[in-house]
Amino acid sequence: MLSFFSLTHAEHAPSHEFFRGQLVPCHETPARAEQVHQALQAAGHRIETTGFPDSRALLGQVHAERYLRFLQGAWADWLARDPANAARQPWPSTWPVRTLRSDLEPREFSARLGLYSFDNGTPLSAGSWAAAKAGCDAALAGAQALAGGARAAFVASRPPGHHAGPDFMGGYCFLNQAAVAAQALRAQGHARVAVLDVDYHHGNGTQAIFYARSDVFFASLHGDPSTEYPFFLGHADEEGEGEGRGFNLNLPLPAGTPAERWFAALEQACARLQALNASALVVSLGLDTFEGDPISKFKLARADFGRLGARLAGLGLPTLFVLEGGYATADLGLNAVAVLDGFEREG
Ligand code: OKS
Ligand code: ZN
């Protein structure tokens, strides 16, 4: 399968994250993308690494301009505060929850970081904007490949994107590559695009971006937010609002869910997206549903990823896979290839 991958991903390389209140080495590392890259090459998939189109205009359609301005300038602002910050990671200090105001942007850097974050688990480094933006450019290149007649393509970018919402970062995500891809497919003339999120974690950012829209259907299978990150979105009663009512489907599953139950939920999502006549599919391909994932609790095995690819090929839609989470780094590339090979065997 034709794959798109920007080496710029490596410029996003923070060292530590807050994880359940402790400062620990990052789970989301450059080695992840390198593993995927190597596995794609070893399996004979064609990989494009340069010459991607500029996704800036599309970014303005899925993210707020003031958020994009903040993120693009964030590292320079952090350094302007103190040159010694080059060797430090910034963290948000205060979040505008509930009764606090979020219409104004404070001048203080850590407060602005809080305004545009929903957690303290999304470390920023010098090249975070460049890496995330390059991932969106790769996503646009993937969408254009579909317009050019490709049956499917894979965007192997990092950092991931599905927790990034209209004006916030979170969960290792800054810019929402899957949303950019869906928006690009809409602009190509697909009247309804489906985004199917199979990452272990609910794609709260993607849901938020499209919640009031009927032209992009969002469906997600994920760990039940009553115990699993991101905790504050992803329940079954979130069905969309206004024009978007009926175009959001959440299928939360308990931690420990085995493959058969997971595939039954996948059938529900597939049935809905077919009933809604989606003509193109974006798959937020998180591979942290793997039984060996260190931070997640579903039980999919390598062979299940092949079955997933084959099932999605059966939908018969132009399909763009976009890499999201997955932290069993040594297995990540083989799991990704299993999905793509399963798709190509069936398609
Ligand atoms: C750190 C964040 C904890 C979980 C992040 C999950 C990232 C992910 N406080 N999303 O799909 O894989
Ligand atoms: Zn995840």
What would the two tokens of residue 321 be?
């896979």
Residue 267 has pLDDT above 80, yes or no: yes
Helices (H) and strands (E) in the chain, counts: 10, 10
Would you say 1 and 343 are in contact if contact means Cβ atoms under 8 Å apart? yes
Look at residue 286 and tell me whether its pLDDT is greater than 80.
yes
DSSP letter, residue 104:
S
At 187, which CATH number? 3.40.800.20
Structural domain containing residue 257? 2-70+127-346
Q: Is 163 a catalytic residue?
A: yes
Does 251 fall in a domain? yes
Residue 80 lies in a domain: no
pLDDT tops 80 at residue 268:
yes
Q: Tell me whether residue 204 is in a domain.
A: yes
Quote the percentage of the chain above a pLDDT of 90: 99
Question: Does any domain span residue 161?
Answer: yes
Q: Check residue 14 and give its pLDDT.
A: 98
Residue 171 Cα, ligand 1 centroid: separation in angstroms? 4
The answer, yes or no, to whether residue 89 has pLDDT greater than 80, is yes
Residue 197 forms part of a structural domain: yes
The angle, 0 to 180 degrees and rounded to 10, between the axes of the packed helices 329-346 and 30-42 is 40
| 327 C-beta closer than 6 A to ligand 1 | no
Interatomic CA distance for residues 52 and 50, integer angstroms: 6
Alpha carbons 15 and 54: distance in angstroms, whole number: 29
How many CA atoms, within 13 angstroms, populate the side-chain half-sphere of residue 23?
7
Say whether 213 sits in a helix, a strand or coil.
Answer: coil
pLDDT band at 347 (very low <50, low <70, confident <90, very high): confident
Q: In sequence order, what E strands does 91-233 have?
A: 152-155, 193-197, 216-223
Percentage above 70 pLDDT, the chain: 100
Please list, in sequence order, all residues whose beta carbon lies within 8 angstroms of the beta carbon of residue 73, skipping any fewer than 6 positions away: none
DSSP secondary structure code for residue 83 in this structure = G
How much is the pLDDT for 324? 99
Domain count for the chain: 1
User: Across all residues in the chain, what is the average pLDDT?
Assistant: 98
Look at residue 113 in the predicted model and tell me its pLDDT.
Answer: 98
Q: With a threshold of 0.90, tell me whether the complex ipTM lies above it.
A: yes
Q: What pLDDT is attached to residue 249?
A: 99
Ligand 1 centroid distance, CA of 93 (Å): 19
Q: Is a pLDDT exceeding 90 seen at residue 220?
A: yes
Cβ partners under 8 Å of residue 67, min gap 6? 116, 166, 167, 168
The answer, yes or no, to whether residue 32 has pLDDT greater than 90, is: yes
Element housing 345 (H / E) = helix 329-346
Is the CB of 18 inside a 6 Å radius of any atom of ligand 1?
A: yes
Within a domain: 53 = yes
pLDDT of residue 159: 98
Q: How far is the CA of 316 from the centre of ligand 1 (A)?
A: 31
Query: Is residue 119 in a domain?
Result: no
pLDDT tens across 144-168, in order? Answer: 999 999 999 999 999 999 999 999 9
- pLDDT mean over 316-327: 98
What's the rounded mean pLDDT across residues 181-203? 99
pLDDT at residue 78 is higher than 90: yes
Q: Does residue 121 sit within a domain?
A: no
How confident is the model at residue 92, as a pLDDT?
97
